[in-house]
């Protein structure tokens, strides 16, 4: 089976600084992979490369077995419609209401009529546990947790097979963060999504991931199930998982 995300020999350089050197990473269908690493380790850069916002200096990224770039506008667009992205701040269009934000990608298809779009938007709102009366609100009127939910609904509007999340729980209080993680997990299994997320929240990581990729020193120092990755002898891994906070989160997740 073709990997949903296939990264081979990826290197990135900003000016004189190497961010990644020769990274290989494969994400299979249905997996939930977390990218973790310290600040400045290039997690978000890698995510932006996967979604085609940044070009790697060297190496290749394939989604669903196809290269990200080339092959004409139509092919690129069709490929981009197969994944959805949840940006860290939500990146909702501030001039559109919640309804129009979610309807936007559907309207861009230019195939669905307005009644079908309305039904789908209402369904998406329900999927992310928002109410129909929230549809008329503007992004500025939403709380942080609601912004994330609307952004998730928008990311799911085109029925993607792959969902990419950049710090999905950053800026949420623990309770909302837990609720959001639960939502992602539930939707992930319900919609059979493959999920790649960047996080440094250890609770999110422990609750969601089927595999964890650890970025440090410009490469991936560990990639595997959480229990396996935790055992790696690396200063970052030790500091990250074996701090007091980390231990507590992992205990809650039943790993210790």
Window contacting other proteins (CB under 8 A); options: 76-84, 169-177, 195-203, 209-217: 76-84
Question: Both tokens of residue 219?
Answer: 């490469």
CA–CA dist 132, 119 (Å, integer): 11
CA–CA dist 256, 252 (Å, integer): 8
Q: Smallest distance, Å, CB 242 to other proteins?
A: 37
Q: Smallest distance, Å, CB 132 to other proteins?
A: 5
- The verdict on 73 binding other proteins (CB under 8 A) reads no
Nearer Cβ to other proteins (113/175):
113
Find the binding residues for other proteins in span 144-173 (CB under 8 A): 158-159
- The verdict on 109 binding other proteins (CB under 8 A) reads yes
Q: How many Cβ atoms are within 10 Å of 1's Cβ, its own excluded?
A: 6
- The verdict on 74 binding other proteins (CB under 8 A) reads no
Angle between helices 144-156 and 174-190 (to 10 degrees): 10
CB 94 within 8 A of CB 147: no
Window contacting other proteins (CB under 8 A); options: 5-13, 38-46, 133-141, 234-242: 133-141
Can you tell me which of 20, 62, 124, 211 binds other proteins, judged by CB under 8 A?
124
74-112: buried (b, 16+ CB within 10 Å) or exposed (e) per residue? eebeebbbebbbbbbebbbeeeebbbbbbbbbbeeeeee
Give 188's contacts (C-beta < 8 A, 6+ positions apart). Answer: 32, 163, 195, 208
- The verdict on 132 binding other proteins (CB under 8 A) reads yes
- The verdict on 95 binding other proteins (CB under 8 A) reads yes
Residues that bind other proteins (CB under 8 A): 78, 81-82, 93-95, 109, 111-113, 115-116, 119-120, 122-127, 131-133, 135-136, 138-140, 158-159, 190-191
């Amino acid at each position: 089976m073709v990997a949903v995300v296939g990264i081979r020999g990826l290197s990135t350089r900003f000016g004189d600084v190497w961010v990644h050197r020769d990274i290989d990473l494969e994400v299979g269908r249905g997996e939930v992979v977390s990218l973790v690493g310290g600040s400045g380790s290039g997690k978000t850069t890698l995510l932006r490369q996967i979604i085609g916002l940044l070009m790697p200096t060297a190496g290749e990224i394939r989604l669903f077995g196809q290269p990200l770039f080339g092959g004409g506008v139509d092919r690129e667009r069709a490929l981009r419609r197969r994944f959805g992205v949840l940006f860290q701040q939500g990146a909702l269009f501030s001039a559109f209401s919640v309804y129009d934000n979610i309807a936007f990608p559907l309207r861009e298809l230019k195939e669905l009529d307005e009644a079908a779009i309305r039904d789908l938007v209402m369904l998406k709102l329900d999927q992310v546990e928002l109410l129909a009366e929230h549809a008329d609100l503007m992004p500025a009127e939403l709380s942080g947790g609601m912004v994330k939910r609307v952004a998730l609904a928008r990311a799911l509007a085109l029925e993607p097979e792959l969902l990419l999340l950049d710090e999905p729980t950053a800026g949420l209080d623990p309770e909302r963060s837990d609720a959001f993680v639960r939502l992602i997990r539930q939707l992930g299994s319900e919609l059979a999504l493959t999920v790649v997320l960047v996080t440094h929240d250890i609770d999110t990581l422990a609750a969601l991931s089927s595999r964890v990729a650890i970025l440090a020193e410009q490469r991936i120092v560990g990639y595997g199930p959480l229990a396996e990755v935790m055992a790696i002898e690396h200063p970052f891994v030790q500091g990250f998982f074996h701090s007091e906070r980390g231990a507590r989160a992992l205990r809650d997740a039943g790993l210790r």
